[in-house]
Structure 1
Amino acid sequence: MNVSKDEYAFSRLPKEKKASLFNVTIVRMGMATSLAQFMLGATLGHRMTFIEAMIATFLGSLALTFISFGLGYAGMKEGVSTSILARFCGFGKIGSMLIGVAISVSLLGWFGINISLISQGFVNTITPNINLVWITVMTGFFFSLLVAFGFKALSITAKVTVPLFLMVVSFISLNEIFLKPINHFNFSHPNGELLSVGDGTTMVAGLFIIFALITPDISRYCKNGKHVFWMIFISIIVGEFFINGIAILVAHALGTDDVVKIMLHSAGFIGILTIILSAIKVNDTNLYSSSIHMLGFLEAITNKRFNYAGITIFLGLFGTLLSSLGILEHLTSFLLMLGVIFPPIAGIILIDYYILQTNRQSLDETREKGLLPDDSSTPLIGWSAIMACILGTIVGIVFKIGIPSLNSILVTGMAYWLLMKIKRVCKK
């Protein structure tokens, strides 16, 4: 699966570059079967009853499936990344590039969180005498070099680490769940600070919303809509229900949400090795997508093309800095923030592409030629989309009735549809 070094960040992906269902699914599963997913499940299990945690998982997963497939199908059909799709779906050239920067920075946050987990795993078991900061810097630089080799490196890494992570999680489930008596679990009484179903759902959505939003970055490699569906469906089942479900049960069994402690208690050295390797696969994708979105932004504001490998290494070092500053300590707040800020962006793209179809004709006309519509077909910045996103985000933050993440996307979608209808009436 060879691609050019700019990863087609500025154009449609050529049809001959499409990949097999297995390759795109394994990369997507690398995003879904992450240690962060296990951390989320442990947090839900520690702060909610088992039933509440599973309800939050189901509702959050339902929203993620809808968003992922809607964006993923559009990305497959048009052969473009999320930033390019947003340009022709309401946000305009500058608006879409600002979204790209927001996605890039958020992914660097995840990159930093995973670097922290890897570094702590090293210090706790392998290199206890080496300073944590030095381990963090060396780990971050290694990942930056790895991702600089492009999408092929992601596929190779995921093929090795996904099976290992699933085997260790299966071992933990057997050891801590199925071999223990039923009275070993405290299903109805959380051990930590209580969390509502609405906030739990928003955390589920917040964990994966960035990956849902960047689905086109991966789905553009899919050959058809069926491949998009199965890639998303398999990833949701394995990531949200299998990994999340086991983590919820283990948190109830052990009375803790400390993932390092859980892994050490259940699998010893192999558990820590899993922490290290599982972070590899998801961090590859974090930095890969962060790089192509930042490339798009830099190209838009300078009219110059930057080197993919150079930008990747630079961003990787920035993510390493976030790790050194302790971003892992703010995981819950980070997830809740993502759960209300990013769903509105997806809502705009979905409403515009499938319902309003503001640029569908120009996209159809240029698709077979492998080109993109010229910039004259889109506004420099889509103010209707920006205003609707701001309104949806405010609603998600301020109103705690229901599920904040769903509130934000629904309000955004309705506001954008109404603003565009008013705009069209005013033009007549």
Structure 2
Amino acid sequence: MSEKMTTANSAEQGKVDIDFAECAVPKWSRRRFVTMFMIMLGFTFFSASMWVGQEMAAGLDFWGFIKALLLGGAILGIYTGLLGYVGAETGLSLDLLSKRAFGEKGSYISSALTSFTQIGWFGVGIAMFAIPVARELFGGSTAVEWVLILIAGACMTASAYFGIKSLTVISYIAVPLVAILGTVAMIMAIKQGDGTIVDQFAKSSGSLSVIGGAGLAIGSFVSGGTATPNFTRFAKNGKQGTIATVVAFFIGNSLMFFFGAISYIFVGGNDIFEVMIRLNLFYLAILVLGLNIWTTNDNALYTAGLGLANIFNKRKKPMVLISGVIGTLLSVWLYYNFCGWLNILNCTLPPVGIILVISYFMNKKAYDTDTIKIVTVNWFAVAGVILGAIVANVVTWGIASINGMVVAALCYVIGEIYKREK
């Protein structure tokens, strides 16, 4: 079936929110694989991931960088791939899945954590565009900075407001441009450097282990990756949702890490924008920076809107507007004061995601019916998120997000066993 509905379904479309915030996505509204791949690939094109590439390049040699990228990508791929599968098979958003795993009221904790984190990163993303562009164009003028913030915030909020169709259009435009222009700039920078790329990576301090680098790679997008079901629920089936997620996330994150690494090696920075400025590609640099951030920011705001809609029992679109206004107005403050807190919050979301996955596979038959009995609060699931987040932020051994997921999974499984034996 094509992406457009049949005539028989036209009446049904008029009665249902096209983003299906309150129900499973029906089969007639599912998208092609290419569309899902582009949406998921665009989601990973986030400038903050380049910061991680900078850290990895500063602490690892070339082969250590590759090993960390592969290990981190594999772990992140397994996590997001499972979430992608669950989202596609059930057609349910992160928040509707949370109701089944955490309970009606218990789902508020996962919705709140997700919305709060995504609004924060949305604001940071806007500032990441406005501040460097204002600096390059008008010497850092505060007035210009705020004009750019308001324009960018309005555009990105609008694309999230209009939902999955708008996200699709932005992704089809931005993904090829960012991938091609960014890669060309990266190759140009390498050619202008001293020796091969292996030689240039040799300048690193060697202060980071492969495991440490993999941890950075996972942490860079594990919070955003938790929202995967919000998008893969539009996939034709679980297989397509999983493949689109795993392949797109690996390619997208790898590109961002390389962009950040080459920026560090070439100009001592952390963004391909700085490399393109050095290469005298000024206007292309602004285009790449803006589109790069836009493809992630509209997805983040879309996720925040769904989360707030669940908490306040309102429609998604007004919640998207509220989230966009908050993120836009607080963008500069978030950029300078909140990145550290957002990284801490990143550790709270993997426990949510792993519980959603385990809940589905332990109660699979219950997800096949709309008559599933939803409890008020699943306290074992809530405890799993709280304890998992504490462990992820406190324990220094291993990889933080995995530590949190293990604890959360144990809490949830123990709770399920206890309920069945009761």
1:398 CA drift (Å): 1.7
CA offset at residue 76 of structure 1?
Answer: 1.0
**What is the CA-CA distance between 1:395 and the residue it aligns to?**
1.7
Contact map agreement 2:392 2:404 (CA 8 A) in 1: yes
- Map Cα deviations across residues 16-39 of structure 1 (whole Å, 9 max, x no partner): 000111111111111112323333
How far apart are 1:394 and its partner, in Å?
Answer: 1.8
CA distance in 2 between partners of 1:311 and 1:26 (Å): 25
One-letter identity of the residue aligned with 1:320: T
Match of 2:325 among 311, 317, 331: 317
Give the aligned partner of residue 381 of structure 1: 377
How far residue 361 of structure 1 moved from its aligned partner, in angstroms, is 2.8
Comparing 109-118 and 230-239, the one that deviates more: 230-239
- The DSSP-based 3-state class of the residue aligned with 1:94 is coil
TM-fit CA distance, 1:132 = 1.9
Partner of 1:418: 414
5 Å-filtered alignment, 1:353-364, equals: 353-354=360-361, 356-357=362-363, 360-364=364-368
Counterpart-to-counterpart distance in 1, 2:286 and 2:205:
24
Return the alpha-carbon distance in structure 1 between the equivalents of residues 319 and 98 of structure 2.
Answer: 22
1:269-322 CA deviation, whole Å, 9 max, x = no partner?
3112211122122111111111112111111xxxxx43x332221110101123
Q: Which residue of 1 aligns with 2:395?
A: 399
Q: In the aligned structure 1, how far is the partner of 2:346 from the partner of 2:303?
A: 19
Return closer, same or farther for 1:149/1:101 CA change in 2, 3 Å cut-off. same
**Matches of 1:328 and 1:203, distance apart in 2:** 21
How much has 1:396 moved relative to structure 2?
Answer: 1.5
| Mapped contact 1:169–1:243 kept (Cα < 8 A) | no
Letter in 1 for 2:350: P
Q: Could you report, residue by residue, the CA deviation over 1:104-126 in whole angstroms, capped at 9, with x for unpaired residues?
A: 11111111111002212431344
Larger mean Cα displacement after TM superposition, 102-111 or 57-66: 57-66
Q: CA deviation at 1:131?
A: 3.6
Distance 1:57 1:336 in 2: 19
Q: Is the 8 A contact 2:259 2:272 kept in 1?
A: no
Distance 1:195 1:334 in 2: 23
Q: Deviations over 1:85-144 (max 9, x none)?
A: 12212x111111221121111111111111002212431344555342343233212322
- Whichever residue aligns with residue 45 of structure 2, its letter is T
- For structure 1, which segment, 164-173 or 411-420, has the greater mean C-alpha deviation from structure 2 after superposition? 411-420
Amino acid at match of 2:264: A
**Pair 132,191 (structure 1): closer, same or farther in 2 beyond 3 Å:** farther
Q: CA deviation at 1:48?
A: 4.0
Distance 1:109-1:48 versus aligned 2 partners, 3 A rule: farther
Tell me the distance in 2 between the aligned counterparts of 1:342 and 1:202: 15
Distance 1:276 1:121, change over 3 A: farther
Q: Evaluate the alpha carbon distance shift between residue 243 and residue 327 of structure 1 in structure 2; reply closer, same or farther with a 3 A threshold.
A: closer
Q: Describe the superposition over 1:54-103 as per-residue Cα deviations: whole angstroms up to 9, x where unpaired.
A: 333223222211111111111111111011112212x1111112211211
TM norm structure 1: 0.86
Deviation readout 1:393-415 (Å, 9 max, x if unpaired):
22222211111211111122123
Residues 193-272 of structure 1 aligned to structure 2 (within 5 Å): 194=207, 197-257=210-270, 260-266=273-279, 267-272=281-286
| Contact 2:42–2:252 (Cα < 8 Å) also in 1 | no
Alpha-carbon distance between aligned partners in 2 of 1:336 and 1:76, rounded to the nearest angstrom: 28
The DSSP-based 3-state class of the residue aligned with 2:179 is: helix
CA distance in 2, matches of 1:389, 1:197: 27
TM-score, normalisation: structure 2: 0.88
Distance (Å, rounded) in 2 between the aligned partners of 1:334 and 1:167: 33
Distance 1:144 1:242 in 2: 25
* Mean CA deviation greater in 111-120 or 235-244: 235-244
Bigger shift: residues 151-160 or 270-279: 270-279
1:352 and 2:359 matched: yes
Give, in angstroms, the shift of residue 173 of structure 1: 1.9
Where in structure 2 are the equivalents of 1:264-343 lying within 5 Å?
264-266=277-279, 267-299=281-313, 305-306=314-315, 308-327=316-335, 330-331=338-339, 333-334=340-341, 336-343=343-350
The within-5 A match list for 1:167-206 is 167-178=180-191, 180-182=193-195, 185-190=199-204, 194=207, 197-206=210-219
Q: Distance in 1 between matches of 2:337 and 2:173?
A: 29
CA distance in structure 1 between the partners assigned to 2:56 and 2:169 by the alignment: 32
Contact 2:149–2:328 (CA<8 Å) still a contact in 1?
Answer: yes
Question: 1:93 and 2:100 equivalent?
Answer: no
Structure 2 distance, partners of 1:15, 1:61, is: 31
For the 8 Å contact 2:105–2:377, the answer to whether it is kept is yes
Q: Could you tell me whether the CA contact under 8 Å between 1:116 and 1:323 is conserved in 2?
A: yes
What residue ranges of structure 1 are gaps of 5+ in the alignment? 300-304, 367-371
Number of paired residues? 406
* Alignment gaps of 5+ in structure 2: 5-12
Instruction: Quickly say closer, same or farther: Cα 1:34–1:398, change in 2 above 3 A.
Output: closer
Aligned to 1:302: none
What CA RMSD, in Å, does the superposition of the two structures yield over aligned residues? Answer: 2.5
